[in-house]
A and B are shown apart, each in its own frame.
Chain A
Amino acid sequence: MSATVLSIATMIALVILALALLLSVVRVIIGPSLSDRVLALDLLTVSAMGFVGAIAIRTGLTLYLDIAIALALLGFLATVGFARYILSRQLPRDAGAENQP
């Protein structure tokens, strides 16, 4: 009984998370600026983490949980790096006005 409920629930969750991944990919493609794309990539990492968690429940292999935690760490570091890149890409143009203390 509970195994059937678990199987159906993980299947529904996988479908919903696949839809969320698809919508995030649409925003990555059409995003007008780099910041929009970076934000959509951040959400893409979080939903991929949810996907891995749902697969961990479905297969019963809890080793997938470590993959999810590593994915969260990777997404955070990627967003921090992209924010630094966005900040440093623009600075040489108006470096004199921005960097005055």
Chain B
Amino acid sequence: MIADLMIYLGCAALLLGALFTLLAAIGVLRLPDLYMRMHAASKAGAVGGGLVLLAVALVCFDAAVALRAIIGIGFLLLTTPVSAHLLARASYRTGYHAHKLMEVDELKSKSGQTLM
């Protein structure tokens, strides 16, 4: 009974994670700027991968598997913002210009000099 419930919950988490990953891919393909694309890839991508790992933990219903899956989720949530930040910093420093839709550039002073 409990195992059936866990399997249904795992199916829901798996489908939701796959949809979030598809959303991240659509955002990476359609958004106009590297910084906006990074917003889609790092947030929706991390949620999608984490939900799929959670689905593995729910369906298999085993303590060792659940521990490994939770370690994987924590690792993903810890490393994705770091890599996105590093990539954005490297791109900004090497002169990747933002799209004109970006109104506030906190890293640029009023004299046009970059502060990084």
Contact = CB atoms under 8 A, between A and B. Distances in A.
A10 B14 contact: yes
Contacts of A12: 15, 18
Given A13-B15, A39-B41, A24 B48 contact: no
Contact of A72 (B3, B15, B79, B90): B79
Given A12-B15, A86-B90, A5 B29 contact: no
Given A69-B72, A90-B94, A6 B87 contact: no
Interface string A56-75: 11001010011011001101
Interface residues of A, number: 53
B30 to A, nearest CB: 9
Interface string B45-82: 11011001101100110100100110110011001101
A87 B93 contact: yes
A12 B14 CA distance: 9
Interface in B1-53: 3-4, 7-8, 10-11, 14-15, 17-19, 21-22, 24-26, 28-29, 34, 37-38, 41, 45-46, 48-49, 52-53
Interface of B: 3-4, 7-8, 10-11, 14-15, 17-19, 21-22, 24-26, 28-29, 34, 37-38, 41, 45-46, 48-49, 52-53, 55-56, 59-60, 62, 65, 68-69, 71-72, 75-76, 79-80, 82-84, 86-87, 89-91, 93-96
